[in-house]
Structure 1
Amino acid sequence: MSILDKETQSRIDSWLTNEYDEETVAQVQKLIDDNQESELLDAFYKELEFGTGGLRGIMGVGSNRMNKYTIGKATQGLSNYLKKQFPNEQIKVAVSYDSRNNSQGFGHLVADVFSANGIHVFLFEQLRPTPMLSFAVRHYSCHAGVMLTASHNPKEYNGYKAYWNDGGQLVPPHDKNVIAEVNAIQSVAEIKFERVPENITLIDESFDDIYVEANKRLSIHPEAVAAQKDLKIVYSPIHGTGITVVPKMLKTWGFTNVTVVEEQATPDGNFPTVVYPNPEEEEAMSIAKKKGQEVGADIIMTTDPDADRVGVAVRNSNGEYQLLNGNQIGSLLTYYVLSSYKDKGLLKENDYIVKTIVTTNLITDISESFNVKSYETLTGFKYIGEVMTQKLGQENYLVGGEESYGFLVGDLVRDKDAVNACAFIAEMTAYFKNQGKTLFEVLLDLYVQYGFYKEKLISLTKKGKAGADEIKQMMKNLRENKPEILGGVKVAEIRDYLALEATNLNSNEITKIDLPKSDVLQFITIDGDVISARPSGTEPKIKFYCSVKESLLDKSQYESVAAKLEQKVENIMADIVKE
C-alpha cells in the first residue's frame, strides 16, 4: 500500500509535466521508478515555508526541497508582493550568497527573476557574509534583500533568507503575506526566469571597505587595541564567507597578530574538515583549538558558513582552552559594552539591549545593574531586528544577542553579525588583558556579582514528515500533561507562547504574554530555573533549553558549584526530554 496521500501525489504529478525542465522530470521519474516512496513523501508532502530563518531545506527535486523552481517561485512571490507594497517606485533589492554548494548559482537565479520583474538588483560579485547583505539593503536604500545560505546546517541544505527594507529578515505580517503570494502562483509559467542584464548592478570588493570602516567607528576602546595590538588571535571561517572580511576587519581594527586556520580557510560547500559547520559544536572548533595551543592564542574565534554566528574559546583557570557557550559570550559582550559606556560617560536614559526568551537572564541582570532597559523577543534574531526598527529614533540600541551564538553591537545592520562580533570580542579581550584579566576570569567575576548561571541545550533531530509529526506530538503531549515538578523542583509558572498565556500554578492566575504567537513552552520553577521547549524553525529538530542559577560566593568555589548545577540540569532534562 502506498504511503503517498492524494495531495502529495498531485504535487508529484505536476512535477512530471513539461513545465519543468527535462533533468528535473527525469530525477522525479527515477525516484518513482526506484520506488523511493519515503524520499518522494519527504520531497513533496508540503511546500517549503518561511520559518525563523526564512526558506531552508535539503537540496534536490520537489516542492519541499531547495531547487530552481522553489527558489524561483519564492522570488516571484516576493517580487509580486514588493510591487503591491511599492506600486509607484523603482524597486531595489540586494542579493548575496555564501559558500554552500549551489549558493552562487541560486544567487544568480534570484537576481535573474528579480531583474525579469523590472526590479533593480544589487548583486554581490562574490560570496559575502549575511550581515553584509543586511548592511547593503540599508546602504543602497533597497526595498528588500535575499541571502542564499543555510547558515550552520549540514552540507545537504541550502536556504533563502528574505529581508525587508529595514535590513531585517521578514517578520509578520510580511512573512505570511509573501507566503500567500508564493502560494498564489499556480504555474511555473508565471515565474519570470529570463535575466535582464541592465537591471543588475554588481557589488565589488570595494564595498568591503565601506562596511569595515562603518564598523571601525563603533570601537569603544581603540586605546586598548593599540596597547594590545599583538594580541594572539586564532580565527577560522570553517570553509565559509568569513574569510572574505573577518581578517580585514581585525586588521583595520588594529590587530596585527591574527593566525588564520589554513585548513579551513578556503570556501568549500562540502565542509571537508568538520561534521557540521557549526561553531556551537566542539568538533567544529577542534582544529582551531589545536592551532590556538600551537601559537598560545589569547582568543580563538570561528564563524559559520555565512558568518552570522561566532564561536569562542578562551583559557580557563587550568590554562586549558574552553569553549564559551552563546549565553556566556552574550553576557560578556553586554557587560563589556555597558560598563565601557558607563566609564566613558556615554550611557543615556533611552539606551536598551535585547535578548530572546531562551537566552540567559544573566544578560537582563547585567542590564538592570546599569539601569539600562532590556527587551525580550521570540527566538530568532529577526525579532531583535524588529525591535531595533520599532525603537529607531526614540531609543538607542547598544547590544543584543541570542544563545545560539548570534550577536550584534551597534545598529549598522538588523541581523546577527559575527564579523562585527569578532572585532568586539577581540577588543574586549584586549581591554581586559590590559587590566591583567582573561575573559574567563571576567566571566567568573560576573558569576560572583550576579549569580552563577548554567545553561544546557538538548536538540533532538526528527527528519522528514514522520519527524515533523513526531515533534508536533511531543509538543502536544507537553501541553496536555504539563509537568508540575522538574528535577525534584516544583514548577511555579508555565508560559505558553502559542496561547500567549502565563499561568501561575499557585494562584492559577493567568496573565497575557505580549509577543507574537510561537510554538514555545516555558516552565519556571520556584528556584527560578527556566526550562523551554520549542521546535526549531530552521532544522528538523525539537530543542530543549535549561537555565539554572545559584550564588557563587567566591571564584574558588567555581568547580564545585558548576558540578552541582550540572547535576541539577541533568535531573531536569531527564524529566522533560522524552525521545
Structure 2
Amino acid sequence: MEDILKKAQYWMSSFFDNETKNKVQLLIDQNKKELEESFYQNLSFGTGGMRGVMGVGTNRINKYTLGKNSQGISNYIHKTLPNQAHSVAIAYDCRTNSNTLARVVANVFAANQIKVYLFPELRPTPLLSYSVRALNCTCGIVLTASHNPPEYNGYKVYWKDGGQLVPPQDEEIIQEIENLNYEEIKLVGNEELIELLDKKIDQKYFEEVVKIGTFDATPEARKNLNICFTSLHGTAIKTVPPILEKAGFSQVHIVDEQATPDGQFPTVKSPNPEEPEALEIAIKLAEEKNSDLVIGTDPDGDRLGIAVRDLEGNIQLLNGNQTMVLMTWFLLEKWKKAGKLSGKEFVASTIVSTPLMKVLTEDYGVTYKEALTGFKWIAKLIKDHPELTYIGGGEESFGYMVSDVVRDKDANSAILLTCEMAAELKAEGKTLYQKLIEIYQTYGFYQEHLVSLVKKGLAGAEEIKQKMIDLRKQPLSEINGEKVVLIEDYSTSEAKDLQNNETKSIAIPKSNVLIYYTENGTKVAARPSGTEPKIKFYISVNEAFSKVEDFGQKQEKALEKINAILKEFGVEK
C-alpha cells in the first residue's frame, strides 16, 4: 500500500490539474480500495488496444494516461522515422468523454509537430482503419472501449498499413511510453496542425464498401429484402444506413429508440450484439415489420450480430462462427464463379474459431491461414504474404473482414455482404438459415459455444492467472469421456501429440492460450481476455449430418455435449 500511496501522491504534484488532484485526495481520504485499484498497475495494452475504467490514476483511462500514450508514440515516430513529415488520423466513438479525450490526444500529436486529421464527430473504428491508408498517415488512433460497460473507455493504435500494432513494434512503443515521465507530455497543441475532416473521406469509404460488398443480386432482389437494423446507441448509425441505401437496399427499418448515440447505453444491459438480449428491441420491431433478418452493431461499429428466420420462421441469433462461415462460403463461391481462384488466394481465421473454416476454405482449393485471436493478426498475415491475395476472414467474436480495404473487422462491409447474400438467396426461395444447414450437410455439423468468467480487479487478475497455471500443471487426459489426443500451448509454442508422444513447435507468436483436441474432434480453448477482466472458454464439437429433418436432433445432442464439457471445466453456460 505504501507504493500505491507514493504513486497517488505523485499525482498531487503541480503538473496535474486541480480537478485530478482533488479526486486523488478524495480517494486517499475516503476510499482506500478504489485507490488501490486505480494505482496498483499501469493500464496496459491488450489484444484490442488499451481499455479501462475512466477515472484518475495510472490504471484508469484519463487525459494523462492517454496523453502519455500519445507522447510515447510521437517520440517513437520521430526516433524511428526521422527527417520525415508525419500525420495521424484520430476518431472516437459514442463513449462518455470520447470527444474530449480525442481532442487531448490530437493536441499531444500536434504539439509534437505531427499533422492531425481529426474526425469532427463520432465515427466507427473501421472508418479510422480505412482513413489511415487513404490519407497516407503514419498511424491512427481511435478512442473506444468497443462493447465494454459504460464506465469504460479505450485507445486503439493503428499503423500505416491500417492494421493494429503487432510485435515487435507494439513492445517497442510500449517501452517508449513506459520510459516517459508524465511531465514530459506536451498537452498544448499547435492548432495549425489539426485539420477537421469533411465528409469526403466518408464518401470514399462508402464507395469502397459497396464495391467489395455487392455482387450479383438484382436491384429488385435488394429492394425485396426486409432488414431491421440497430446501432445499439453506437457509431454505426452514421455509416450502415447510408451504405445500405447506396447499395440499393431500401427496405431498412431502424430501431429509433437505439439510434441516438449514447455512451450510457440506456436500453440494454450490454451494448454487445453477441448477446441475444441486446437485440430484443430490434427483434420485436422485426416481427412487426416481418423482416427477413435483424442486424445489430457494437458501439464502435466493427462487430455485428445477425439474427435470421429459422426453419420454423422464428428469428434466431446466429453465433459469430456461423456468420463467418456463411460470409466465407459466399465470397469463395463468388470468386469461383468469376474465375478468380488461381491458387494464390487465402482466407484467414483465428485459433479459437470453428474448425469448419479450414474445411470449407480448402475444399475450394484456397489456402487457409490461422492466427492468434484478434484481427491485428489477420492484418499482419496480409502484410506478411504479399504473394497471396486476401479474400476474407473472421473470428468467432462476431467480426469479419471483407477484402483488405479495411485492415480490421468491419461491421459495415460485413453487413452489406450479408444483405447481398440474403437478397440473392431470397430470390432463389432460400434463407440464410437454410444455406447454413446446406453447408453443414456438405461439411459436417459444427456447434460452438463461448463462456466467459468475469474476474474484476487485482484479486480477479490473480484468479485468472492461477486458473491457467492449473490447466497447464494438471492437463486433462479426457474431456467428456473422449480421449485428449493433442494439447497446444501457445505460451510455450509447443503442440504435444499424446498419441505418438511427439512435441512439435507452433509457428505462431506466443500467447496465453491453451487448446485441447479430442479423438472425436472436440476442441476446447482457454484464453484470458486481452482487453477485459475475464477468462474465456471456447468449445467446439461436431457431428456427422446429412438429413435436414435431423438438424434439430443433432443440434440438441451437440448442446448437451457442450453443457457436459462446461460442467467438467467448472463453468456454467
Q: Same fold (TM over 0.5)?
A: yes
- Equivalent position SS for 2:207: helix
Q: Once structures 1 and 2 are overlaid, which stretch shifts more, 344-353 or 221-230?
A: 221-230
Q: Give the Cα separation in 2 of the matches to 1:232 and 1:195.
A: 48
Aligned to 1:333: 327
What SS does the corresponding residue of 2:68 show, helix, strand or coil? helix
Indicate the SS of the match to 1:453.
strand
The yes-or-no answer on 1:383 pairing with 2:385 is no
1:155 alignment partner, one of 150, 153, 171: 150
1:134 lines up with 2:129 in the alignment: yes
**Aligned equivalents of 1:142, 1:202: Cα separation in 2:** 15
- Name the structure 1 match of 2:410: 417
Q: Where does the alignment leave 5 or more consecutive residues of structure 1 unmatched?
A: none
CA contact (8 A) 2:453 2:571 kept: no
Q: Which amino acid aligns with 1:71?
A: L
Give the secondary-structure state (helix, strand or coil) at the position aligned to 1:217.
helix
2:11 counterpart residue number: 15
For 1:312-360, what per-residue CA distance to the aligned partner results, in whole angstroms no more than 9, with x for missing partners?
0000011100000000000000001101211222222111100000010
**What is the letter of the counterpart of residue 470 of structure 1?**
E
Mapped partners of 1:68, 1:219: distance in 2? 38
Aligned with 1:560 (options 550, 553, 569)? 553
Q: Which residue of 1 aligns with 2:346?
A: 352
Query: What's the CA shift string for 1:254-293, capped at 9, x where partnerless?
Result: 1111111101000000100000100001110111111110
For 1:242, the aligned partner's letter is A
Question: Partners in 2 of 1:113 and 1:230 — Cα distance?
Answer: 50
CA distance change for structure 1 residues 149 and 246 in 2, over 3 Å: closer, same or farther? Answer: same
Whether 2:455 is the aligned partner of 1:481: answer no
**Alpha-carbon separation, structure 1, partners of 2:213 and 2:43:** 40
Q: CA deviation at 1:222?
A: 4.1
SS in structure 1 at match of 2:268: coil
Q: Which residue of 1 aligns with 2:61?
A: 66
User: Counterparts of 2:45 and 2:174 in 1: how far apart (Å)?
Assistant: 7
Question: Helix, strand or coil: the match of 2:567?
Answer: helix
1:472 maps to 2:465? yes
Report the 3-state secondary structure (helix = DSSP H, G, I; strand = E; otherwise coil) of the residue aligned with 2:224. coil
Q: How far does residue 16 in structure 1 lie from its aligned partner after superposition? A: 1.8
Equivalent residue for 2:46, pick from 27, 48, 51: 51
Instruction: Kindly indicate whether the alpha-carbon contact (under 8 Å) linking 1:486 and 1:576 is maintained by their aligned counterparts in 2.
Output: no
User: Is the contact between residue 216 and residue 424 of structure 2 (CA under 8 Å) also seen in structure 1?
Assistant: no
One-letter amino acid of the counterpart of residue 577, structure 1: G
Q: Distance in 2 between matches of 1:86 and 1:268?
A: 39
In 2, distance between residues paired with 1:578 and 1:364?
A: 28
Cα distance in 2, alignment partners of residues 418 and 307 from structure 1: 6
The whole-number CA distance in structure 2 between the counterparts of 1:326 and 1:153 is: 18
Q: In structure 2, the residue corresponding to 1:249 is in which secondary structure?
A: helix
d(CA) in 2 for partners of 1:465, 1:223: 53
Q: Which residue of 2 aligns with 1:25?
A: 21
Quick check: 1:400 aligned with 2:400?
A: no
Q: Which moved more, 1:335-344 or 1:458-467?
A: 335-344
Q: Secondary structure at the match of 1:375?
A: strand
Q: Deviations over 1:511-545 (max 9, x none)?
A: 00001110000000011111000000010000000
Distance 1:37 1:326 in 2: 41
Deviations 1:31-64 (A, max 9, x none): 1111x22211111111011111111100001100
In angstroms, what is the RMSD of aligned CA positions? 1.1
Which position in structure 1 is the counterpart of 2:81?
86
Q: Counterpart of 1:433?
A: 426
Runs of 4+ in 1 over 6 A off after TM superposition: none
Secondary structure at the aligned position of 2:212 is classed as coil
2: CA distance between counterparts of 1:306 and 1:270? 14
User: Equivalents in 2 of 1:143, 1:228: separation in Å?
Assistant: 39
Pair 1:75 & 2:77 matched: no
| TM superposition shift of 1:578 | 5.2
Listed as ranges, the matches of 1:182-331 within 5 Å are: 182-186=177-181, 188-331=182-325
CA–CA distance in 2 between the matches of 1:413 and 1:231?
A: 26
Secondary structure of 2:453's match? strand
Is the contact between residue 57 and residue 64 of structure 1 (CA under 8 Å) also seen in structure 2?
A: yes
- Partner Cα separation in structure 1 for residue 515 and residue 213 of structure 2: 37
1:148-187 deviation line (CA, Å, top 9, x unaligned) = 000010101000000111000010111111110111112x
Contact 1:503–1:510 (Cα < 8 Å) also in 2:
yes
Unaligned runs of 5+ residues in structure 2 are none
Aligned length: 572
Counterpart of 1:192, as a letter, is K
Q: Which residue of 2 aligns with 1:548?
A: 541
Q: Helix, strand or coil for the counterpart of 2:223?
A: coil
State the match for 2:441 in structure 1: 448
* 3-state SS in 1 of match to 2:568: helix
Alignment-derived partner of residue 110 in structure 2 = 115
SS, match of residue 154 in structure 2: strand
Q: Which amino acid aligns with 1:343?
A: K
Deviations 1:398-450 (A, max 9, x none): 11101001101111011000011111111010111121110000010011110
